[in-house]
Homo-oligomer: A and B are copies of this chain.
């Protein structure tokens, strides 16, 4: 079956930049391409939009098909449409962006992907298409977001230490922060609930655990979070 149009049409794809945080680093989800072009090269998960699905539904479907990952919240990042960005011809891609808790996601490659894996955002293999640009745009967005949205909730486990939270900010912003100043600012926001629990199974002195106050968190998000460091 073929499809004929009066004027030439571009193909439209979606691509997903999924960030997760582990003990060491900020990670991005990549898949290894099983088909041409760029067969064997690592890329962002994504694929062609079907005629009867929304762009966001397409992104969600591709994430599940290519990496076995389900995520509720996807945010549109940017649409990349340089005429020469794909060797197959004109392909316009709508990029999406998600933050997930790394520990909750077991990856499983399928369909067009050979393999799916987490890579440090600072040390990815050479990527297919213009995916290095897409990733870099997503990192810029993430850096911007930490200044006006309380993003920790999406990346950290439900209970965390202040050191973990500080490391998140340091990792995303790529610079060290003063510990005392950081704690003062974050606690002043009244965003965290101090728990009657400390870390388990650590060799150093166990630190206090905190969790996000969901109600306060939503209020801050709505009112316009402002966290200048």
Chain A positions near chain B (C-beta within 8 angstroms): 2-12, 48-49, 51-55, 76, 78-79, 81-83, 90, 92, 94, 147-148, 224, 226, 228
Contact = CB atoms under 8 A, between A and B. Distances in A.
A140 B52 CA distance: 28
A148 B224 CA distance: 11
Contact of A9 (B6, B10, B54, B76): B10
A148 to B, nearest CB: 7
A5 B12 contact: no
A28 B205 CA distance: 60
Given A9-B11, A10-B12, A79-B79, 8 more contacts: A2-B4, A5-B9, A9-B12, A10-B51, A12-B81, A49-B92, A55-B81, A81-B94
A229 to B, nearest CB: 11
A110 to B, nearest CB: 20
Contact of A49 (B5, B10, B147): B10
B2 A3 contact: no
Contacts of A2: 4-6
Nearest to A89: B51
A107 to B, nearest CB: 27
A54 B224 CA distance: 34
Contacts of A78: 76
A78 B224 CA distance: 21
A53 B84 CA distance: 10
Contact of A79 (B10, B76, B83): B76
Nearest to A52: B83
A69 B48 CA distance: 35
Contacts of A11: 5, 7, 9
Contacts of A7: 3, 11, 48
Nearest to A53: B83
Nearest to A228: B226
A174 to B, nearest CB: 15
A30 to B, nearest CB: 23
A38 to B, nearest CB: 19
